[in-house]
Structure 1
Amino acid sequence: MKLLFCLILIFISASENDSEKIIWKENQKLTWEDFQGKPVRSAAFVASTNTGISFQYSYTIKNGEIKVTYSVESFFKPDGSWYIPEKVTPYILGHEQAHFDISELHARMLRKNLEGKKFSKKIKSEIERIYNAIEQKRRAMQTKFDAETDHSRNEEKEIEWEKYIAKQLADYESWN
């Protein structure tokens, strides 16, 4: 008996009709031109980045053997990201890039958790549990990053965080 199942999980706050997204790449940094959303001038900060992880998987069960294939990408949504032109600087763009990098870090963590994992016949719930745990950590790290850096206003903390994120990305390089 051969069974095929495919599930696409995309957790973003933008609408499903928004198909444009930028996939994280090592040598491609964000520019202000990438931010295409309408500025929220009443916000307590001057820019906002919409990032996340897209995750797809499929599996087959043949002769009792379970084979899982998956794809994990971190992405940036231009339409969900905005800035107030007269109030931003290259330094703030670095803060926004760090948000994108945090999503990439968690995409790597997800790949690491899935790599070589032996699944039971409860594949869907096992994979969802792994994804949900990583997504919860990603969201918590994004929130902590903004809280500790005061949305980039605390330069000392910003430098600490950017070094920490870079080190973590290097530590998870094998899952790039």
Structure 2
Amino acid sequence: MNRVFIILIAIAFVSVSDAPERLPWHSQRILQWSDFKGTPSSLERWAASSSTGISQGYASNGEGYIDKASLTVTAHFYPEYSWVRHQEKSKHLLAHEQTHFDITEVYARKLEDKVAAFTFTSNSLEEIKMLYKEVEEERIATQKLFDKETKHSIDHMKEVQWELKVARWLKGNFQD
């Protein structure tokens, strides 16, 4: 019994210690250059890259239904996979990377809204995967559009327009 318990603790410790660092999005905490701990690839031509994503947690009852009250959805920034070329650091570029993180938060909220509005069946685990996939595809498309329209932060006027748009989205106003 003790041997099994120790093995389970060791497995849990290894699993937790191998997990990448994640910073949850918070309105009072903006990104800093010290959060970018990854190493840029020599093949990348960009000045910086933010790795962000959405995680979710939930419980289901014994009949396969998701307990919506148990749902947690969090936008994360992954420092180990995010990087900056040190000679390129600027407030403007950091604001661009923050907007990427903010866009991920917008889509985390959209996922929460979709789950809240969805009527699940006993196949809810597959249904929540479908909802996540839909939102994730939209998030990725929006991230690409943001980079395209701002020319990866080079077009300052478009950058400001996007920052204002994302700020409205974060307040729940999705009218463009």
Distance 2:40 2:160 in 1: 26
Structure 1 segments of 4 or more deviating over 3 A? 64-68
Q: Which residue of 2 aligns with 1:25?
A: 26
Quick one: structure 1 residues 66 and 56, their matched pair in 2 at CA, closer, same or farther if it must change by over 3 Å?
A: closer
CA contact (8 A) 2:37 2:82 kept: yes
Q: How many aligned residue pairs are there?
A: 156
Q: Which residue of 2 aligns with 1:92?
A: 93
Q: Which residue of 1 aligns with 2:105?
A: 104
Q: Secondary structure at the match of 2:57?
A: strand
Q: TM-score, normalised by structure 1?
A: 0.82
Q: Please list every run of 5 or more consecutive structure 1 residues that lacks an aligned counterpart in the other structure.
A: 1-15
> What value does the CA root-mean-square deviation take over the aligned residues?
2.0
Per-residue CA shift, 1:2-36, capped at 9, x if unaligned? xxxxxxxxxxxxxx934311000011000000000
CA contact (8 A) 1:41 1:84 kept: no
CA contact (8 A) 2:65 2:125 kept: no
CA contact (8 A) 1:61 1:67 kept: no
Q: TM-score, normalised by structure 2?
A: 0.82
CA contact (8 A) 1:74 1:103 kept: yes
Counterpart amino acid of residue 88 in structure 1: K
CA contact (8 A) 1:37 1:81 kept: yes
Select between 91-100 and 81-90 the one with higher mean Cα deviation.
81-90
Bigger radius of gyration among the two: 2
Structure 1 or 2: larger strand share?
1
CA contact (8 A) 2:65 2:122 kept: no
CA contact (8 A) 2:47 2:88 kept: yes
Structure 1 or 2: larger helix share?
2
Per-residue CA shift, 1:101-148, capped at 9, x if unaligned? 000000000011112532111111211111110000000001111111
| Displacement after TM superposition at 1:56 (Å) | 1.7
Q: Please list every run of 5 or more consecutive structure 2 residues that lacks an aligned counterpart in the other structure.
A: 1-16
Distance 1:99 1:59 in 2: 32
Q: Percent identity?
A: 35
